[in-house]
Each structure stands twice: as structure tokens, then as C-alpha cells.
Structure 1
Amino acid sequence: MKFEWPLILLLAASFIYGIYVYPSLPDQVPSHWNIQGEVDGWSTPFWGAFGMPLLNLGMYIMFFLIPRIDPKKEKYAKFRGAYNAFRYALHLLLAGLFVVIMMAARGMEPDVDRLVPMGVAILFIIIGNYMGKIQKNYFFGIRTPWTLDNEEVWRKTHRMAGPLWVGGGLVSLIGAVFGGKTASVVFFSALAIMVVVPTVYSYFAFQRLKNQ
């Protein structure tokens, strides 16, 4: 439970900040930006102040419960450090996005087209750094039919994907510096490679083992 307290305090701080800023928010709060960093979606003051904290709370509950309901729950003890690092990074990212939204709502002009890709890119790097330590489970990691069917395929796929995700995160981080369309193209191109390559790799790794 010692590990949970910093996250609980972060969530509480988000709700307290939402309560603090709620009375001063305009009738329309920015909620979505296009690839040029221009606002193209709006929400009410209530959802502006509490939508992101509620999302963060939902993510906390979900990832808190996953190791307790997964049929392979015993595996989580073997990569608890990696799992907890991901949780910290995710909640910090969502809290950071909340701050960015509140800055925009209060008349500031944060570089959303740079800050958001940067935050997600850092999350990718953190996940990639721990990818090789993730043990086979049903909720977390690269879950393809072939990784879930074979322990060795799971291990090989995650060891291969780790450096790929770190590299994809670094490329996305560099692309984010340029902002706008460039950041979006680089980000989504890197994301596609990070998803497709491990999926295809897991299939061929499974076939190789099957044919041995």
C-alpha cells in the first residue's frame, strides 16, 4: 500500500485543483485540439474541471484491479517494478494533460501540439525500457494470439519490442519539438511501427517454434 499513496495524493490534488478552478472557468472549456494545436472541441466547465481527474481515477481503479483479477495474477509479482513504473508514468501524464487543459481554459496558450506528443513519447520510452521484464498475462503487454499461446514467443516478442518502443518514443519526442503536422506524422508513423512490427514478429516467431 506504500506504493499507492503517492498516486492517491496525485488524484486528490487533481480533484482539489478542479474544485479550486471550477468557479473561474469560462462557459466553454477547450477539450480537443487539431494537429496544428488549434482548439476544435469544447466542454462544459464541470467536465473541464473534473473530466480528466475522473478519467485518471478510472485508470487508477482499473490498473489497481488488473493484477488482482487476472487468471495469471501470480505473474505480476515478477514484474511489479515495471508495472508500477507504467502506472506512475500514466497518471503523471494524465495529470499533466489536465494542467495543460486548465492553462488553456484560463487564457494561456500552451503548445499543445508539442506538449501532448512529448508526454506520450516519454510514456512510450518508459514502457519500452521495461518491456522485456513483462511476464505473460492477459491484460498488460503485447497480447497477440501467438504470444498468449506460447511462453517463449511472449518472451522473445517483448525483448524485441523493448528497444523498438524506446526508439519509437525517442523519434516521437524529437518530432514533437517541431509541433503541428510534423509532430503528428512522426508520432503516428512511429506508433504504427511499434504496434505492427511486434505483432508480425510474434506470428513468425510462433511459426518457427511450431515447425521445429
Structure 2
Amino acid sequence: MRISRAHVLSLGFVVAAFAMAFMLYGQLPESIPTHWNAKGVVDGYTPKPWGPFVLPLVMAALYLVLVAVPRISPRGYRVERFQGVFEGIQATLVAFLFLLNALVLLSGIGVSVPMARVVPAGAGLVLMVLGNYMGKFTKNFFCGIRTPWTLASDEVWLRTHRLGGRLFVLAGIIVLASGLLGGGPIPVLAAVTVAAVTPVLYSYFLYRRIEGDKHGPTDDTGSHRSA
């Protein structure tokens, strides 16, 4: 069976994350910084031996789950119909976790890491990639804007994901800029909230409009009348 480049890349990131943790293990303190507040100040630690391997284990678990998804998708909602896009998203998410893993380990050995800037910037890039791919999603139960109205209508699914893709790219640009410029959490939260909520509302109103047009007017008994 041929293994795609995206799978090779994802596996490479997972292996590199474990290798990095093993290489730096002896230099790391007994408690590893693993959580930062919005200002970039450490406010959470995880002790050895788990601390250095938390994110590599999360990466491995995520990779395995995303490999399993195409095999458990129900008929009519198969991920295989946009397999290349799905694998690109997989590689993007694993790469982002690899970045976080590298930052955590570097911080653990005493390197000054501007987490409040780098993490939002990385998250912004992820949003931009997701937005760029979103219009290529076909109907499925695992990724995309899965509302009752998008799942009930192919047209609503397509048009909602086109809008969602544009909004995610715009939100990614805002989040990236906020991270690089030190804008803080408010622009990030605002951009992500708008990008997440707007397509949901749009899918509802679009479905009502389309279904209303299809059903047409009704008579006094509630039955549909033909024109």
C-alpha cells in the first residue's frame, strides 16, 4: 500500500518529537513547564517522566485517530472523497503540535520562549490552512461545519463551507498578526468567535430559505400547493 507524503510528514513529526524529548531529557528539570497564561507566564507544570512526553504522546494519538477516521466513516459520509485534503489537515495539526512540543522543551532547558507571541502566530497559520481547505470538504461526520442544516442539504454544506473558508482565512490572518504584534487575547477570541459562529447561523438561515423555496406555499390545511 502506497503511503502518501502527508502521512510520511506526519510520522516524521511524531518520531522527531519523541527523539527531541529523549535527547533533552537529561537537561530538563524534574517539573516541566507545560502551560502558560495569556501573558506568556508559566502557570502549570508536569513532572518527569511524563512531562517531556505529554505532547509527543498526544501527537501519536492524534495521528492514529486521523488514520482511523477514513476506515470508520459511514457510507455516504466518506472522508476518502477528499482524502488528500484530509491528510493535508492531518499534517498541519501534527506540525502545530510539534511546534508546541519544541517550545515546551526549549523552555524547559532554560531558553526564553515568547509563548504569548509564537503560539497565536502558529494557530493563525493553522486557521489559514484550514480555511484554504474548507471549501473542498465533502459531507462527513468528522471535520467541517457539521450542523443539522449542512448535513441535511448538499447545497447548504457547500455554500456554508465556502463562507467558512473565507472567514477562517481572515481569522487566521488576524490571529497571526495579533501574535506577532503582541495584540493579546481579545483580537484572537473575537476573530475566532466570529469565524466559528457566523457559518453556523448562516447554515440555518440558508437552509430555511432553500427549504422554503422548495416546499412553496401551503393551503389552509397545511398541504403544499403547486404553482
- Matching residue of 1:105: 108
The 1:115/1:72 distance shift into structure 2, 3 A limit, reads farther
How far residue 73 of structure 1 moved from its aligned partner, in angstroms, is 6.8
Structure 1, unmatched stretches of 5+, are none
Structure-2 separation of matches of 1:184 and 1:192 = 12
Q: Which runs of 4+ in 1 moved over 4 A?
A: none
- Matching residue of 2:204: 203
Residues 160 and 198, structure 1, Cα contact 8 Å, conserved in 2: yes
Residues 73 and 79, structure 2, Cα contact 8 Å, conserved in 1: no
- Matching residue of 2:4: 2
Structure-1 separation of matches of 2:187 and 2:13 = 31
RMSD of aligned C-alpha atoms?
1.3
Give aligned pairs, total: 210
Structure-1 separation of matches of 2:204 and 2:178 = 30
Amino acid at match of 1:132: G
How far residue 44 of structure 1 moved from its aligned partner, in angstroms, is 0.8
TM-score (norm 2): 0.88
Structure-1 separation of matches of 2:77 and 2:197 = 29
Structure-2 separation of matches of 1:46 and 1:178 = 36
Residues 58-77 of structure 1 aligned to structure 2 (within 5 Å):
58-72=61-75, 75-77=78-80
Structure-2 separation of matches of 1:104 and 1:168 = 28
Residues 76-155 of structure 1 aligned to structure 2 (within 5 Å):
76-155=79-158
- Matching residue of 2:223: none
Deviations 1:14-53 (A, max 9, x none): 1122112112210221111111110011111222210000
Structure 2, unmatched stretches of 5+, are 214-227
TM-score (norm 1): 0.95
